């Protein structure tokens, strides 16, 4: 009868009993988010709903907190006797009940039969990652993303705020980070500069906007790799005090934060102090991905840290670095998350750092071991949850067919997340084309029960889903193109692979040789200073 995305746990309807019709006089219990519902109804059905305390009258939508609902984000929704009752244990549950009701009203033009819905999420973490580092997305865009996330019952905005190509969050103690570090001289697309950053006020506004939609914001401060923009502002952060520019192009950079100098840790802790103020949600993502060890192998400070802390090698030095950052956050009652990408010896990483698992191992065994150690795991598998990758690779069918659970035990997986890397995503138009409809399938993986998402049912529900997206004028990809034919698939793949033919690899080769010479000079200088 209804085609809700993500699929609710159970829906029962009957034509024998009285349902509910939305009228001009319909009222809704006042709540922090009733205005979201009211404007949706005005826009889609051209009906005015008013906030009004429950007087038991007909025509009302009654929201009620109810201790008897067992799941924190769960709700029940009943349409009967010309009323709608939404009961939930928390405000989040009420909000999700209203989101479901919005889809039901849209599909029935406001005339609901007797309906009984019981619903709760499969996973508690249902995320979307926005990379604001490569391209800056203004406050209005981020709010729009929050609106669209709310429609999908997604509850975590993982906000990638620092990158080689831009440092996007104002840090009062290090003003250069945004004065200089938020602008790159040109981009993948043209020779024009690109820049932008979020002030403390902007962040406050976005965090508040998200909170009203039950979305928690987890900022990412990507360290020790992906730090070219910060190093461009403060060269002492790198092993060899190198003078870099904010990166103009994509690719893995070899100059990363020095893990041997205490001044690096001071900087990192100072930035975290401000991030903890700006993002009071208690969780910070600390990156950890693609931290190549070229400079650390040559750097006298890093080598000294390895010796003094009896570490085996540079991989263990990264574990030491991440652990110190994690300890700092823990001391402030914050939790940390990091990527499991390019971690050569994952078992050195403290188990209380959660992982966004983008590189999934071929078998579930490694994940099982991590879960046994108590590590929280979020499934962000690049295939198929990287939403920037072409539809030819991560087809809608592939997203639908993917098992979100990382082990055979459901409890081992905290949740799922769709990731929008923006190296080749300069604006919302492109972002939406890539995110939708795939994000709909990821939302089902995160919320709906085990049989979902299913490609067959997704296709069945797609027409209503796209109508919902139309309400927000979303620039989605047509269903047919979201699982392209063999030929189109290979064409798009070839087009996308052109990224690989890039000067970064060649540049690194020459630059590594130069860095080696600089490291040699530094070692000599330090030796002479000691003598
Ligand atoms: C990543 O794919 N760099 C986490
Ligand atoms: Zn170093």
- Ligand 1 pocket: which of 356, 358, 386, 422 to mutate (most atoms within 8 A of CB): 358
Ligand positioned closest to the Cα atom of 236: 2
- Rounded-to-integer distance, Cα 126 and Cα 158, Å: 10
Domains of the chain, each with CATH number or no CATH: 10-119 (3.30.379.10), 125-459 (3.20.20.80)
pLDDT of residue 502: 64
Ligand positioned closest to the Cα atom of 382: 1
Instruction: Name the stretches of the chain with pLDDT < 50.
Output: none
pLDDT of residue 314: 96
User: Tokens for 449?
Assistant: 């029960």
E strand intervals along 358-477 = 377-379, 413-420
β-pairing verdict for 10-14 and 114-119:
antiparallel
- Rounded-to-integer distance, Cα 497 and Cα 172, Å: 40
Q: Give 504: exposed, middle or buried? Use CB within 10 Å, 0-12, 13-18, 19+.
A: middle
β-pairing verdict for 335-339 and 354-357:
parallel
Question: Is the CB of 205 within 6 Å of ligand 1?
Answer: no
- Rounded-to-integer distance, Cα 479 and Cα 437, Å: 7
**Residue for token digits 């209380």?**
352
Q: What angle do CA 359, 155, 164 make, to 5 degrees?
A: 50
pLDDT of residue 344: 67
Residue 24: how many CB atoms within 10 A of its CB? 10
Q: Which among 119, 11, 137, 6 is positioned nearest to 437, based on CA atoms?
A: 6
Residues whose CB is less than 8 angstroms from the CB of residue 441 and which lie 6 or more positions away in sequence, other chains included: 396, 399, 400, 453, 458
Residue 257: how many CB atoms within 10 A of its CB? 24
Q: Coil, helix or strand for 283?
A: strand
Q: Which among 352, 358, 454 is positioned nearest to 406, based on CA atoms?
A: 358
CA of 171 to the centre of ligand 1 (A): 24
Q: Which among 77, 122, 132 is positioned nearest to 100, based on CA atoms?
A: 77
- Rounded-to-integer distance, Cα 161 and Cα 62, Å: 40
**Tally: H helices and E strands in the chain:** 19, 21
CA of 135 to the centre of ligand 2 (A): 29
pLDDT of residue 363: 67
pLDDT of residue 472: 98
- Rounded-to-integer distance, Cα 330 and Cα 336, Å: 8
Question: Is the CB of 358 within 6 Å of ligand 1?
Answer: yes
Contact 76, 87 (CB under 8 A): yes
Question: Is the CB of 289 within 6 Å of ligand 1?
Answer: yes
User: Tokens for 479?
Assistant: 């269903």
CA of 245 to the centre of ligand 1 (A): 22
- Rounded-to-integer distance, Cα 35 and Cα 102, Å: 12
Question: Is the CB of 290 within 6 Å of ligand 1?
Answer: yes
What is the tens place of the pLDDT at every residue in 423-437?
999 999 999 999 999
- Ligand 1 pocket: which of 250, 290, 343 to mutate (most atoms within 8 A of CB): 290
pLDDT of residue 341: 79
3-class SS shares of the chain: helix, strand, coil, % to 5: 40, 20, 40
- What is the distance of C-alpha 385 from the center of its chain? 11
- Ligand 1 pocket: which of 131, 252, 289 to mutate (most atoms within 8 A of CB): 289
Ligand positioned closest to the Cα atom of 240: 2
Ligand positioned closest to the Cα atom of 252: 1
Question: Is the CB of 342 within 6 Å of ligand 1?
Answer: no
What is the tens place of the pLDDT at every residue in 321-355?
999 999 999 999 999 999 997 776 778 899 999 99
- Rounded-to-integer distance, Cα 370 and Cα 375, Å: 5
Question: Is the CB of 341 within 6 Å of ligand 1?
Answer: yes
């Amino acid at each position: 009868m209804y085609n809700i995305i993500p699929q609710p746990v159970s829906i029962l309807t009957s034509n024998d009993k009285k349902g509910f019709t939305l009228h001009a006089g319909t009222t809704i219990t006042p709540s922090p988010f009733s205005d979201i519902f009211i404007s949706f109804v005005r826009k889609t059905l051209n009906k005015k709903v008013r906030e009004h305390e429950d007087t038991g009258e007909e025509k009302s939508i009654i929201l009620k907190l109810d201790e008897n609902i067992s799941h924190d984000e769960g709700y029940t929704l009943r349409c009967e006797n010309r009323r709608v009752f939404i009961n939930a244990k928390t405000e989040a549950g009420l909000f999700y009940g209203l989101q479901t009701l919005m889809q039901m009203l849209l599909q029935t033009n406001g005339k609901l039969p007797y309906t009984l819905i019981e619903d709760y999420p499969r996973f508690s973490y249902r995320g979307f990652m926005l990379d604001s580092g490569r391209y800056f997305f203004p406050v209005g865009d981020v709010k729009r993303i929050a609106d669209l996330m709310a429609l999908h019952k997604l509850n975590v905005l993982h906000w990638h705020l620092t990158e080689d190509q831009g440092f996007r969050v104002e840090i009062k103690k290090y003003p250069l980070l945004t004065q200089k570090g938020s602008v790159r001289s040109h981009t993948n697309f043209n020779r024009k500069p690109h820049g932008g950053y979020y002030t403390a006020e902007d962040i406050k506004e976005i965090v508040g906007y998200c909170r009203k939609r039950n979305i928690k914001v987890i900022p990412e401060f990507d360290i020790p790799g992906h730090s070219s923009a910060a190093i461009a502002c403060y060269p002492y952060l790198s092993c060899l005090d190198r003078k870099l520019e904010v990166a103009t192009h994509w690719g893995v950079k070899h100059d990363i934060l020095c893990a041997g100098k205490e001044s690096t840790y001071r900087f990192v802790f100072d930035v975290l102090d401000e991030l903890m103020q700006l993002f009071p949600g208690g969780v910070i993502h600390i990156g950890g991905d693609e931290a190549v060890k070229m400079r650390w192998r040559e750097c006298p400070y890093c080598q000294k840290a390895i010796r003094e802390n009896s570490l085996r090698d540079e991989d263990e030095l990264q574990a030491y670095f991440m652990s110190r950052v994690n300890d700092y956050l823990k001391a402030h009652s914050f939790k940390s998350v990091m990527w499991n990408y390019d971690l050569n010896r994952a078992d050195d990483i403290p188990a209380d750092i959660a992982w966004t698992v983008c590189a999934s191992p071929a078998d579930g065994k490694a994940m099982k071991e991590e879960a046994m150690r108590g590590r929280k795991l979020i499934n962000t598998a690049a295939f198929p949850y990287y939403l920037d990758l072409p539809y030819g690779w991560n087809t809608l069918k592939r997203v639908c067919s993917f098992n979100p659970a990382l082990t055979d035990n459901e409890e081992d997986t905290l949740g799922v997340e769709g990731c929008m890397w923006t190296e080749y995503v300069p604006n919302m138009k492109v972002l939406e084309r890539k995110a939708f409809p795939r994000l709909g399938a990821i939302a089902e993986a995160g919320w709906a029960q085990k049989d979902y998402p299913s490609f067959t049912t997704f296709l069945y529900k797609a027409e209503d889903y796209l109508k919902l997206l139309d309400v927000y004028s979303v620039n989605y990809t047509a269903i047919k193109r979201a699982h392209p034919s063999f030929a189109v698939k290979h064409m798009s793949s070839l087009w996308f692979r052109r990224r690989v033919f890039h000067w970064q690899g060649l540049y690194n080769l020459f630059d590594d040789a130069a860095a080696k010479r600089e490291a040699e000079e530094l070692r000599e200088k330090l030796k002479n200073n000691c003598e």
